[in-house]
Amino acid sequence: MNRDVYKRNNLKVEGNLSARCCLVFGHGFGTDQTAWQAVKAAFAQDYKLVLYDNTGAGAAEAAYYDPQKYNTLQGYAGDLVEICRELELEGAVYIGHSASGMIGLLASVQAPRIFSKMVLIGASPRYLNDTDYIGGFSDADLDGLFEAMQIDYLSWASGFSRVAMQNEERPGLSTSFAQSLQSLRPDIALDVARTIFRSDFRSVLETVSLPVLLIQAQKDIAVPEEVAHYLNRHIKGSKLVLVDAEGHFPHISAPSEIIKAVTIFLNSGVDED
């Protein structure tokens, strides 16, 4: 057993350990594997579950964080491939939120046999607007975001959590997300935010060859609906589901919607409407 992999990513294997099919969960920026608490419970009886924290997040060992390695999402994708090879996974189903959606796609290109299907929730190949592309942010938007993180990280986290989580009638959700953001080392959080928001993996989409389910919520400040439609057009054979949820974290705010969409995908694939 490679203990470095377990420590670096706080790797956990749960659920039905004798199940033939394995679900691998990847979390987004500002959260950790606990973000999947409600969703994973629905699959624990029938599937082996693999959960981990991206390096620098959650209970992952911060000593393993290398700014040079993780200045691109390819660094995290390499970690994911290493995790799956350590567990000898083949034909697993990957469920990734936000940046981990792209991390999963990159890993699937690096090691095609590891995954058989993918679920991407609120994923984006590029956050910056471009010619004939709406990513949701301008250069000025991102400069302002990074500056706010540098000036007063705790205040930024509090404000960002509210607009990202939405669901104003349930303030506990944004409070919990704010606490998760505030638990991160500010320097690592800023590095990761820059890596994510300045990334551009549009060219990778055409190389994806496995079935992909795209899940998009309403009022997502980080990923507008136009991005989901872009992914749907450029990932061959993908299926887009718009769920009855708002904000960037539907797996937290509306887990039943995610469970329903994922269950249908697992049982029938993406070729059936």
Q: Give the chain's mean pLDDT.
A: 95
- Does residue 273 belong to any structural domain of this protein? no
Average of per-residue pLDDT across 248-255: 98
Q: Which domain holds residue 11?
A: 3-268
The predicted pLDDT at position 271 comes to 44
Contact 28, 99 (CB under 8 A): yes
Cα separation values, 101 from 3, 142, 147, 158, 272, Å: 25, 20, 26, 24, 22
DSSP conformation letters of 207-266: G--S-EEEEEEES-SSS-HHHHHHHHHHSTT-EEEEEEEESS-HHHH-HHHHHHHHHHHH
- Does residue 83 belong to any structural domain of this protein? yes
Residue 82's pLDDT band, with cuts at 50, 70 and 90, is very high
Residue 254's pLDDT band, with cuts at 50, 70 and 90, is very high
Q: What is the pLDDT of residues 139-192, one digit of tens each?
A: 999 999 999 999 999 999 999 999 999 999 999 999 999 999 999 999 999 999
Contact 202, 245 (CB under 8 A): no
- Does residue 23 belong to any structural domain of this protein? yes
Q: What is the pLDDT of residues 138-153, one digit of tens each?
A: 999 999 999 999 999 9
The predicted pLDDT at position 2 comes to 81
Distance (Å, whole) CA 255 – CA 96: 14
Is 1 a residue whose pLDDT tops 80?
A: no
Is 8 a residue whose pLDDT tops 90?
A: yes
The predicted pLDDT at position 270 comes to 42
Is 129 a residue whose pLDDT tops 70?
A: yes
Which active-site residues does the annotation give? 98, 220, 248
Is 210 a residue whose pLDDT tops 90?
A: yes
Kindly report the pTM of this predicted structure. Answer: 0.95
Task: Name the domain count of the chain.
Answer: 1
The predicted pLDDT at position 272 comes to 43
The predicted pLDDT at position 235 comes to 97
- Does residue 15 belong to any structural domain of this protein? yes
- Does residue 57 belong to any structural domain of this protein? yes
- Does residue 193 belong to any structural domain of this protein? yes
Is 273 a residue whose pLDDT tops 50?
A: no
Q: What is the pLDDT of residues 233-243, one digit of tens each?
A: 999 999 999 99
Residue 131's pLDDT band, with cuts at 50, 70 and 90, is very high
Q: Any idea what the CATH number is for the domain that residue 157 is in?
A: 3.40.50.1820
